């Protein structure tokens, strides 16, 4: 069954071109979403090629179950578990991280301050705590740290104070509209063109889904599962994520010398940075949600 919420794949051809090196390889799409990248990969795969996809979101999993191609399999798992795949088995790993448009647009998922809905924001609605549950008991200081660190919000302390005061006076927040209204009252200066709740919603989403930790774990696992010359392709949508990807590639793109053994051969570098691509103007015009995307491409270099 088609859902009313569609996802327009970002950097579709660019990502698959960068990922795909041979038709009979095994590829991993760590973020299936609505399968835009996966379907293009499948169309290029040879008969012995394989595509293994992951997603946390049950709606993404039901979309994936419509694909009947025997070369394809889907796992309802976070990409922090990528390391469960066999070592050096993947010719390419694609991660198109963040939220999909159906997650943002469906009010029942509680990701958006534009549509009123339950304050949830979990990508995997089958486990874990919703934002409403977490905010009902979290310490003021922890709320402030999350909003400051993951939302880069100057008014994090004021927002956390207002949240705790409201919780004590009238009970916990239940809906996205409740949160958006509370934040609007606590943020004193507004950034032009941005809703005052943008940063707080981003922060709570990143926190409740452990997005940055999972990204770091998946990147570490990529060094186990990629075969030599295998490709790592990561599309990210904000600077906190892109910084992690950039630093990871840079850290593994250097030869490592052991200072205690100055004459020993250096340890080989593991990755070589190949490319950094942003969506072309025409794509941004057609799909404004692609405007903040940055895609980084690296190749596994050690044997």
Question: CB-wise, 6 or 251, nearer to ligand SAM?
Answer: 6
Cβ neighbours of 184 (radius 10 Å): 14
Q: Return the closest-CA partner of residue 37 out of 56, 57, 25, 51.
A: 51
Q: Give the DSSP H/E element, type plus range, for residue 277.
A: strand 271-277
CB 117 within 8 A of CB 174: no
| Only segment of 31-39, 44-52, 143-151, 281-289 that touches ligand SAM (CB under 6 A) | 31-39
Q: Which is nearer to ligand SAM, 187 or 233 (CB)?
A: 233
By beta-carbon proximity to ligand SAM, the closer residue of 53 and 249 is 53
Q: Which is nearer to ligand SAM, 31 or 155 (CB)?
A: 31
Q: Does 36 bind ligand SAM (CB under 6 A)?
A: yes
Q: Provide, rounded to whole angstroms, the least separation between the CB of residue 194 and ligand SAM.
A: 21
Alpha-carbon gap, residue 289 to 101, rounded angstroms = 9
Strand 226-236 vs strand 90-96: parallel, antiparallel, or unpaired?
parallel
9 binding ligand SAM? (CB under 6 A): yes
Contacts of residue 298, defined as CB under 8 A and 6 or more positions apart, other chains included, come to 231, 232, 249, 253, 271, 272, 273, 274
What is the three-class DSSP state of 302?
A: coil
- For residue 159, what is the enclosing H or E element? helix 156-170
> Is residue 28 part of the contact set for ligand SAM (CB under 6 A)?
no
Query: With CB under 6 A, what is the number of residues at the site for ligand SAM?
Result: 21
Using the rule CB under 6 A, give the single segment among 29-37, 109-117, 137-145, 285-293 that binds ligand SAM: 29-37
Q: Record the tokens describing residue 166, joined without a space.
A: 């409201």
CB of 60 vs ligand SAM, minimal distance in Å: 4
- Verify binding: residue 123, ligand SAM, rule CB under 6 A: yes
The interface region with ligand SAM, picked from 30-38, 41-49, 132-140, 192-200 by CB under 6 A, is 30-38
- Taking the complex as a whole, the smallest distance from the CB of residue 141 to ligand SAM amounts, in Å, to 26
Q: Count Cα atoms within 13 angstroms, Cβ side, for 301.
A: 15
Is residue 279 at the binding interface for ligand SAM, with CB under 6 A as the rule? no
* Range 264-298 burial, b when 16+ CB lie within 10 A, else e: eeeeeebbeeeeebebeeebbeebebbebbbbbbb
Subset of 49-108 contacting ligand SAM (CB under 6 A) = 54-57, 60, 78-79, 96-98, 100
Interface with ligand SAM (CB under 6 A): 7, 9, 31, 33-37, 54-57, 60, 78-79, 96-98, 100, 123, 214
């Amino acid at each position: 069954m088609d859902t009313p919420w569609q996802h327009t794949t970002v950097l579709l051809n660019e990502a698959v071109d960068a990922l795909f090196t041979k038709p009979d390889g095994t590829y991993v799409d760590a973020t299936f979403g609505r399968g835009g990248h996966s379907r293009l990969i499948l169309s290029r795969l040879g008969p012995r090629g394989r595509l293994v996809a992951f997603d946390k979101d049950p709606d993404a999993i039901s979309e994936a179950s419509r694909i009947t191609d025997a070369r394809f399999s889907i796992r309802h798992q976070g990409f922090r578990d990528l390391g469960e795949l066999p070592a050096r088995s993947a010719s390419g790993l694609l991660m198109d991280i963040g939220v999909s448009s159906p997650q943002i647009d469906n009010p029942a998922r509680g990701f958006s301050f534009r549509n009123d809905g339950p304050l949830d924001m979990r990508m995997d609605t089958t486990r874990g705590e919703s934002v409403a549950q977490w905010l009902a008991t979290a310490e003021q200081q922890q709320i402030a740290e999350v909003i400051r660190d993951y939302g880069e919000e100057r008014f994090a302390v004021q927002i956390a104070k207002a949240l705790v005061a409201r919780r004590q006076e009238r009970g916990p927040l239940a809906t996205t509209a409740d949160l958006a209204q509370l934040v609007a009252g606590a943020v004193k200066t507004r950034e032009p063109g941005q809703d005052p709740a943008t940063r707080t919603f981003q922060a709570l989403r990143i926190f409740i889904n452990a997005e940055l930790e999972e990204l770091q774990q998946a990147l570490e696992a990529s060094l186990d599962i990629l075969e030599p010359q295998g490709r790592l392709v990561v599309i990210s949508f904000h600077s906190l994520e892109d910084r992690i990807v950039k630093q990871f590639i840079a850290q593994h793109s250097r030869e490592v010398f052991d200072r205690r053994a100055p004459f020993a051969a250096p340890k080989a570098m593991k990755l070589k940075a190949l490319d950094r691509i942003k969506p072309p103007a025409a794509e941004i015009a057609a799909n404004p949600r692609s405007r903040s995307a940055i895609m980084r491409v690296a190749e596994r270099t050690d044997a």
